[in-house]
Amino acid sequence: MQKIESHACFGGRQEVWSHTATTLGCPMRFGVYLPPQAEREDCPVLYWLSGLTCTEQNFITKAGAQQYAAEHGLILVAADTSPRGEGVPDAEGYDLGQGAGFYLNATRPKWAANFRMYDYVVDELPALVDAHFPTTSARAISGHSMGGHGALMIALKNPGRYRSVSAFSPIAAPSHSPWGEKAFTAYLGEDREAWKAWDATALVGGAREKLPLLIDQGGEDEFLLPQLKPELLRVACEVAKHPLELRIRPGYDHSYYFIASYIGEHIAHHARALHG
């Protein structure tokens, strides 16, 4: 563990740390916001997963989340979006390879050794955070776009691990999205049945915990119809009687301007569950 950034922020500290990730076989960075309450007591943790092309920096510099985390006494952990560095496989374009891990465990030979973001987010990173920071056992998870897909999928696959889940503009049905189809084919192969284990819309019918899903989606998002397809998730939730609050926000797009506008509501949602 090496601290590479530390900034005073809303009475707490915004830090960035580097470490060698054993599940990914490369150095990784993550952001940690420690609210002022963390100086005197253990605090619950909200994990944030970012979207395509992002690093930990996008969320910690653009979302404006720290003021709300300070208000509610939450630690924020912002993961990177994929393994990175020399020797890590990559591909042309922004939607595959480094910066586009899709929060799954790859099985195809080219990618399998490094692209195990699911294991990293679910197991390795929380163990590291709990060992080095004043955390309670209460966790929540959220994310944007590809990270929204990751947050929903991870919560559905791990009943009891998270007290709440939310997403902004998630790739809600990646098996039916050009982004998802490209990534799943590369990382998992051609068998579409194998894809269902990593697709929130496919998972919701068999979920063993009815953890409510909170989603905010911009009505003017250019990716809404071709890539994100939240209506497919809505239908799946209706069939499974799984609680879903899907809020379409008129006029908003896919950017961090949208996230910053509603991140306070999401953090309050998670705080109620984490402190409840």
Active-site annotation, residues:
145, 221, 254
Q: Which residues are CB-contacts of 63 (< 8 A; sequence separation ≥ 6)?
A: 48, 256, 259, 260, 263
Contact 221, 256 (CB under 8 A): no
The rounded distance, in Å, linking the Cα atoms of 164 and 264 is 15
DSSP string, 110-138: HHHTT-BHHHIIIIIHHHHHHHHS-EEEE
CA torsion 112-118-122-125 (nearest 10°) is 60
Contact 211, 164 (CB under 8 A): yes
Residue 93 DSSP symbol: S
| SS3 (DSSP) at 231 | helix
For residue 112, which phi and psi values (nearest 5 degrees)?
-65, -30
With tokens 């799943």, the residue in question is 184
What distance lies between CA 30 and its chain's CA centroid? 12
> In terms of DSSP H, where are the helices of the chain?
56-62, 66-72, 109-112, 117-119, 125-132, 146-157, 178-188, 192-195, 200-203, 230-240, 256-275
